[in-house]
Amino acid sequence: MTWLPIILLALVAFVAAVAFLRLPRSLWTLLGATLIFGLAGYAMQGSPGQGSAPKAAAGSEAQSGELLVSARREFFGEGQLPSRWIVTGDGFARRGDYAQATGLYANAISENPSDTEAWLATGIALVEHAEGNLTPAAINAFERAAKLRPENGGARYFLGLSWLRGGEPARTRELWVEALEAAPEDAEWREDLAMRLARLDALLEMAAGPSDPDR
């Protein structure tokens, strides 16, 4: 049973890279080969019961944090600058220290309870600090952000992404559709989210299998 989660994780990584990170088709083979060689190396030398090397884990967390901060900022225009607390918190998030980041985002909320980006950043950091699990506190933060600015799709996008990680793609689709319906026509992130929704629909259709022609 130890190997099943590892194989599933590799498959999820491949699908996520292709469907949601816009990996070019020319790199699909390279990514697949990398995952296969990684599994092969793990089979020969890995120890499933032991933790990963600290340096490797730190590098992965830093890369993930950088991507999350950049993705969040896409929902806010260049003229919508984050508060000083968010900027400082982002520095910790980029290094994978989501506990410290959450505390600094909380300072931003205390200073301005109507700071949509602070609530959104808090939700993201709470999910990452919980190792991808969607906690009640994270849901509350996302919902507060969505309530403050319904036209900003950031909260629904990241909440949907969290549900997707939790194996609930139907909830993801519902939230992303709501985000697009509430979005201004000229929102810079609208087209990108629409493309991701289309990819999600394609994946859901593939998972459902061919329809019964007799029905």
Q: Residues 27-68: pLDDT tens digits?
A: 444 444 444 444 444 443 444 444 444 444 445 555 688 899
Q: Mean pLDDT across the stretch 20-25?
A: 52
What pLDDT does residue 39 have?
46
The confidence score (pLDDT) of residue 197 equals 92
Distance (Å, whole) CA 195 – CA 192: 5
Q: Residue 15 and residue 196: Cα distance in Å, rounded?
A: 12
CA distance 17 to 129: 22
Render pLDDT for 171-202 as a digit per residue (tens, 0 to 9).
Answer: 999 999 999 999 999 999 999 999 999 988 98
The residue-averaged pLDDT of 131-152 equals: 96
* Per-residue model confidence (pLDDT) at position 104: 97
Q: d(Cα 64, Cα 128) in Å, to the nearest integer?
A: 9
Provide, rounded to the nearest whole percent, the portion of the chain with pLDDT above 90: 55
Rounded mean pLDDT of 123-130?
A: 96
Q: Are 172 and 200 in contact (CB under 8 A)?
A: yes
Report whether pLDDT(210) > 50.
yes
pLDDT, average across residues 127-151: 96
Q: What is the mean pLDDT of the chain?
A: 79
Exposure of 171 in the CB half-sphere (CA atoms within 13 A)? 13
Check whether 168 has a pLDDT greater than 70.
yes
pLDDT at 101: 97
Q: What is the mean pLDDT of residues 69-79?
A: 91
Q: Is the pLDDT of residue 12 over 90?
A: no
Angstrom distance (rounded) from CA 137 to CA 22: 30
Closest CA to 20 of 78, 81, 71, 58: 71
User: Which band of pLDDT confidence, cut at 50, 70 and 90, is reported for residue 207?
Assistant: confident
* Rounded Cα–Cα distance for residues 114 and 86 (Å): 14
Cα separation of 117 and 75, whole Å?
Answer: 9
Kindly state the tokens that stand for 192: 């990108």
pTM (whole model) above 0.85: no
